[in-house]
Amino acid sequence: MKQTYISEISKHLGQEITIKGWLYNKRSSGKLGFLEIRDGSGIIQGVVSKKDVSDETWESTEKVTQESSVIITGAPREHPKKPGVYELDIKDLRIVQLAHEYPITPKEHGVEFLMDKRHLWLRSRRQHAILRVRHEIIRAVRDFFDNNGFILCDTPVFTPAACEGTTTLFEVGYFDEKAYLTQSGQLYNEATAAAFGKVYCFGPTFRAEKSKTRRHLTEFWMVEPEVAYAKLDDVMELAENFIGHIVSRVLESRREELNVLERDISKLEKIAPPFPRLQYDDAVKMLQEGHTKGALESRFEWGGDLGSPDETYISSQYDKPVMVHRYPAAVKAFYMEPDPERPDLALCVDVLAPEGYGEIIGGGERASSLELLLNRIQEHGLPEEAFDWYLDLRKYGSVPHAGFGMGIERCVAWLCGLEHVRETIPFPRMLYRLKP
């Protein structure tokens, strides 16, 4: 019999249908059984009464175990006590495979155990909600760029040399030479932007940093737009419209999932452009005031990069993402364009998400002068020969250009209101975790 998905159940009320899925949980009351069935599209409670089914079917419903694969025939109808909720009157149940004792019980579990069983944990309601939001965010990301004249130009995962120092890169054997897993598609984006004008790349990114916090993965997904002839202000406007689009799409299409996650939706409803802009100089003042008030332990001095507690403090002053721009050039990457009015500052921007979710976007205007880049490469002790192709971009029609990168997992964690990014990707890769 043709399979009906639980998400489509309301179109089949009163009809006999077949659901192919798994037993999520089971309760019984003597000769009346309640079987929660999931099929990937949703979960529905099946009701089976001994007097209404064959002995074989009743026996099957009694012995079926949690997460056994099952094919069920029955008729959906409204829940007697809950309007808008559907139930299935079970007429027949066939066990495809009787599951062994399932390790994830309906009681609570610790993180370590659940991470070890990640391949099974993905079957839970909560993980479904998170990964559906992730899916929606990714769709919104693609739609935003695709509908705004950007060309998807993906960049390589294997790269020949370190761009920002080898310590943060995973080294792999590449036949007879060494290669590194990409930590950013940006340098390649600059080449494709010079070819196509407006481009983006979207793929996995690898960082070998020994970071062990709720915001870090060693493998994560990053989307990076790059726009030829764009200035810092253009890219800040792009970033706020981009985030605004993502948030409104999630609110529009994934409200049910946010409710499963008990997300405070009112906080997300405030996220609409324009976002506050805060120059680094003013951020320093804000942090120093925060220290005077006793909200921050140490006094922040001009010249340093913002630490996590600093970012959290700044973002707590706003109910929207805040765009901190024009950091000291010394704490930023070699390819940043200096501010012509203040050459000690870089034309860069970090977008800090609200509620302490930290930096979700980093970007800025790229240096367009060949001489400047050559000097910077020397100052940073980087191998010039590795950048010959990159320097070509400054020899052949160099233009001002800018872009940014957004970490998908941090965005998912923020919109879902999660404690940790590890639940935002199906199989997280972290320091000390490579399995499953």
Restricted to residues 225-284, the positions that interact with RNA (CB under 7 A) are none
Tell the smallest beta-carbon distance from residue 175 to RNA (Å).
28
Tell the smallest beta-carbon distance from residue 327 to RNA (Å).
10
Q: Which is nearer to RNA, 30 or 397 (CB)?
A: 30
For residues 233 and 209, is the Cβ–Cβ distance under 8 A? Answer: no
What is the residue-wise DSSP string for 228-243? ET--HHHHHHHHHHHH
Contact between 13 and RNA per CB under 7 A: no
Tell the smallest beta-carbon distance from residue 277 to RNA (Å).
17
Q: Which is nearer to RNA, 203 or 309 (CB)?
A: 309
Contact between 361 and RNA per CB under 7 A: yes
Q: Which is nearer to RNA, 91 or 420 (CB)?
A: 420
Restricted to residues 30-49, the positions that interact with RNA (CB under 7 A) are: 30-32, 34, 45, 47, 49
The C-alpha atoms of residue 39 and residue 135 are separated, in whole angstroms, by: 18
Restricted to residues 79-98, the positions that interact with RNA (CB under 7 A) are: 79-82, 87
**Helical pair 125-146 and 408-416, crossing angle rounded to 10 deg:** 120
Q: Which is nearer to RNA, 90 or 153 (CB)?
A: 90
- Tell me which stretch binds RNA (CB under 7 A): 2-10, 129-137, 192-200, 405-413: 405-413
For residues 223 and 405, is the Cβ–Cβ distance under 8 A? Answer: yes
Neighbouring C-beta atoms of residue 173, cutoff 10 Å: 8
Contact between 9 and RNA per CB under 7 A: no
Q: Residue 315 is encoded by which pair of tokens?
A: 């973002």
Going by C-alpha positions, the residue among 369, 427, 436, 365 that lies closest to residue 402 is 365
CB environment 316-340: b (16+ within 10 A), e (fewer): eeeebbbbbbbbbbeebbbbbbbbe
Tell the smallest beta-carbon distance from residue 349 to RNA (Å).
11
- DSSP bridge pairs for 76: 88
Q: Is 227 left (phi over 0), alpha (psi -120 to 50) or beta?
A: beta
Restricted to residues 179-218, the positions that interact with RNA (CB under 7 A) are: 184, 207, 209-218
Taking CB under 7 A as the criterion, the residue among 57, 60, 66, 182 binding RNA is 66
Q: Which is nearer to RNA, 147 or 167 (CB)?
A: 167
Contact between 163 and RNA per CB under 7 A: no
Tell the smallest beta-carbon distance from residue 278 to RNA (Å).
16
Q: Which is nearer to RNA, 27 or 299 (CB)?
A: 27
Contact between 421 and RNA per CB under 7 A: yes
For residues 365 and 402, is the Cβ–Cβ distance under 8 A? Answer: yes
Question: With 0-12 CB in 10 A as exposed, 13-18 as middle and 19+ as buried, what is 17?
Answer: buried
Going by C-alpha positions, the residue among 341, 347, 311 that lies closest to residue 329 is 347
Q: Which is nearer to RNA, 212 or 395 (CB)?
A: 212
Contact between 28 and RNA per CB under 7 A: yes
Strand pairing category for 177-181 and 32-38: unpaired
Taking CB under 7 A as the criterion, the residue among 21, 338, 358, 403 binding RNA is 358
Contact between 110 and RNA per CB under 7 A: yes
Restricted to residues 311-350, the positions that interact with RNA (CB under 7 A) are: 311, 331, 350
Taking CB under 7 A as the criterion, the residue among 3, 113, 229, 259 binding RNA is 113
Taking CB under 7 A as the criterion, the residue among 3, 15, 308, 378 binding RNA is 308
Nearest 5°: CA angle at 244, between 241 and 248? 140
Tell the smallest beta-carbon distance from residue 177 to RNA (Å).
26
